[in-house]
Amino acid sequence: MRLFKWALMVLVWLIAAPVLAQQRVISLNPCYDDWLPKWLPASSEVIPSSAHQNRLETIIALKPTVVVAGSFTDHRLLTALREFSQIVVIQQPSDWIQWHQEVLSAGALLGQQGAARQWLEQQQHELREVAAGSRDSVLFVMPNQYTWGPDSWAANLLNDYQIPFITSLTHGQLGQLRLEQLLTLAPDRVVLEGFSDDYARAQDWLWHSAVSSWLDGRQRSFVEPELAGCPAVKAVDYLVQIIGTEQR
């Protein structure tokens, strides 16, 4: 009887493994388009968000095995897709522990938890290399006078690698900086995150004479808008731009 049960388990595994490996995975988040192929097996077909632009009919026509979405994906779209495919939602993390849990959970649902764990270990290794020796204090300034708070992903990322994080906020993930608050802060480096080269009213603050004077002589880094939208998946590139020395 035991031999029969063992043989049955092996048979089920042999049948299920090829199906799992040959899954068609559709990304609903541009952050995941290049990320999923880095740790899913080559036999898995990953279809990027640019191929369907999150249109329900197009996604259904592609006949996905699994749909991978982010926490900000339209819930109505996900509800409609549940009738046709397995849905994996990866929540936007606020710290490394949550990110670790989200990736491992997604890996388990995709049948690739070991590969997901290896990818996380590689990401941590690269982050340690990038952060090594960087001790400049950092303040983030974003369009519409926003800045990251002490409970944000950016704050936790810098704290994890002993990079001093400066903010005027006492709690929370995101808040606005008043001009008088900004002028009292003295970071070694100012990170301008999410600004574009095109004119927008949200960026007018940068041209304020007092802000321009305050910025003069300070080290500045620029985080591109596309990268600012994927700070966890692309944490290594995100940190490179934060502590970089390029001027623009």
Query: What pLDDT score was predicted for residue 207?
Result: 81
pLDDT at 213: 92
The mean pLDDT of 98-111, rounded to a whole number, is: 97
More reliable by pLDDT, 172 or 3: 172
Q: Mean pLDDT over residues 109-125, rounded? A: 97
pLDDT, one tens digit per residue, over 119-151 is 999 999 999 999 998 889 999 999 999 999 999
- For tokens 């409609």, the residue is 80
Phi, psi angles (nearest 5°) of residue 99: -60, -45
Structure tokens at 185: 């802060």
Domain with CATH 3.40.50.1980 in the chain: 2-129, 135-243
Q: Which pLDDT score, from 0 to 100, does residue 205 have? A: 78
**Is residue 163 within 8 Å of 182, Cβ to Cβ?**
no
pLDDT in tens, 17-64: 444 447 999 999 999 999 999 999 999 999 999 999 999 999 999 999
Contact 144, 154 (CB under 8 A): no
Q: pLDDT tens digit string along 181-235?
A: 999 999 999 999 998 877 667 678 778 899 999 999 899 999 999 999 999 999 9
What does the pLDDT look like over 213-228, one tens digit per residue?
999 989 999 999 999 9
Range 2-129 has CATH code 3.40.800.10: no
At residue 15, the pLDDT reads 42
Topology of the domain comprising 135-243: Rossmann fold (3.40.50)
- What is the reported pLDDT for 20? 46
Q: Which pTM was predicted?
A: 0.86
